[in-house]
Chains A and B, each alone.
Chain A
Amino acid sequence: MAAVQTERVIVTLASQLQPVRRLRSPLLRALLWLAVVGGVGGVLIAREVGLAIFLQRLAVPRVAVEDVAIALTAITAVIAAFELSVPGHSPRWALLPVLPLLSWVSASGLGCLRNGLSLQRADGFAGESPHCFAFIAGASVPLGLGLFWMLRRARPIAPLPVAALGTLGVAASAAFMLQFFHPFDVTVIDLALHLSAVGLVVLVGTVWRRPLLAAA
């Protein structure tokens, strides 16, 4: 009886078949999103802020490592999210952003240690941290909407890792953009708020993963 029902389902599905546009390669789509974000973000930053602060900070090796790690976290997490959105791709893609993420946290943590784990910088300034939190959380909204708009085309069958990695990529992209507005070294509060903002973005994205990703 049940097998007969399966036959009916097959006939129904075949009778409703419409031609579909094949999805492009996940890597290509990930690079497209990264290129758009890099292009638009780059133009906005060049016009509004300039590169002087960023280049000045890059001269410090630890900060350079931290910034490269943030950028790599964003790139690898977005690529992994696109790869995992398509059935049959290895779940090991989820491990791709692990190393850059650890490098990011380690380099920032080292900065905190160098600052003596104080809650504020040597000059006593500690007032920007909430702005950093707001920047990462706020910038993640348009970035995330764009990313989910592209990811939902795949209708992921396992939306949790796709949403988690996608939002990690989005939050890391926002954190990287923040580096252009962040002319001072990290304190413990900075690091905690940066990571809290990233965690919040990942949490929101994973909680709303089904409607956002139109999971199949």
Chain B
Amino acid sequence: MRAAQSGDRTAYERLLSEISPLIRALVRRHCSNRADIEEMVQDTLLTVHRVRHTYDPSRPFCPWLAAIAWRRSIDALRRRIRVSRYETPEQGVYETFSDAAANSDLEGVRSAEEVEQLLQLLPPRQRQALQSLKLKEMTLAEASVASGQSVAALKVNTHRALKTLRGLLEGRKR
């Protein structure tokens, strides 16, 4: 880590690869779903990257890393509880029906130009989150690296962007 703080990319890549199994073992204590575990691992790696300047080489590395992994696991669990409390997955939302009238408003937007116009109406961070995650199909971690937004912020902004788009579409329909 000391070498990584000085900008040694090879040492940093080796460090991140070596600590990934350790982080995986730490977050597994809080979660059993493999996809969620991997998301927590990636979120922890991103946080390690953001706060790498706070590591003091005169202190042991593992408590520093474990504190970050623990905090990110707790944040993910809280997020999941919040989502499961207030949101219900809607299975039919992505289906297209032969009867055009039965399709949702979102599917009614056919042209790419119209989508682009609507995207321009979104606040910059919401637009960035939606474009990265839904249009460019990046993973949360990749989108976080590209945008500088945290994973939690990306999720919130994507949710808000979809809500704003829904409102805009309803406004156009009227």
Interface residues of A (CB under 8 A from B): 2-3, 5-23, 25, 85-89, 154-155, 157-158, 215-216
Which chain A residues border B39 with CB–CB below 8 Å? 2
Shortest CB-to-CB span from B53 to chain A, Å, is: 4
Q: Which of B13, B17, B38, B54 contacts A154 (CB 8 A)?
A: B54
* B71→A158 contact, CB < 8 A: yes
Give B1-24 as 1s and 0s: 1 = Cβ < 8 Å from A's Cβ atoms: 000111111101100110010000
CA of A172 to CA of B81, assembled, Å: 36
CA of A175 to CA of B8, assembled, Å: 47
Overall SS of chain A's interface: loop
Give B41-59 as 1s and 0s: 1 = Cβ < 8 Å from A's Cβ atoms: 1100111011111111101
CA of A125 to CA of B10, assembled, Å: 71
Q: List 17 A-B contacts (CB under 8 A).
A: A2-B38, A5-B42, A6-B141, A9-B139, A9-B141, A13-B145, A14-B12, A14-B13, A14-B16, A17-B7, A87-B51, A87-B71, A88-B67, A154-B51, A155-B50, A157-B47, A216-B50
* A22→B53 contact, CB < 8 A: yes
Which chain B residues border A20 with CB–CB below 8 Å? 5, 52-53
- Most chain B beta-carbon contacts within 10 A, residue among A15, A157, A215: A157
Q: A10-B17, A216-B50 are in contact. List 16 more A-B contacts (CB 8 A).
A: A5-B38, A6-B42, A8-B139, A9-B145, A11-B13, A13-B45, A14-B12, A17-B4, A20-B5, A22-B56, A22-B57, A87-B68, A88-B63, A88-B67, A157-B68, A157-B71
Give B86-104 as 1s and 0s: 1 = Cβ < 8 Å from A's Cβ atoms: 0000000000000000000
Shortest CB-to-CB span from A12 to chain B, Å, is: 5
Overall SS of chain B's interface: helix
A19-B6, A21-B53 in contact; A216/B67 too (CB < 8 A)?
no
* B53→A88 contact, CB < 8 A: no
Shortest CB-to-CB span from B44 to chain A, Å, is: 10
Give B27-39 as 1s and 0s: 1 = Cβ < 8 Å from A's Cβ atoms: 0000000110011
B66 within 8 A of A: yes
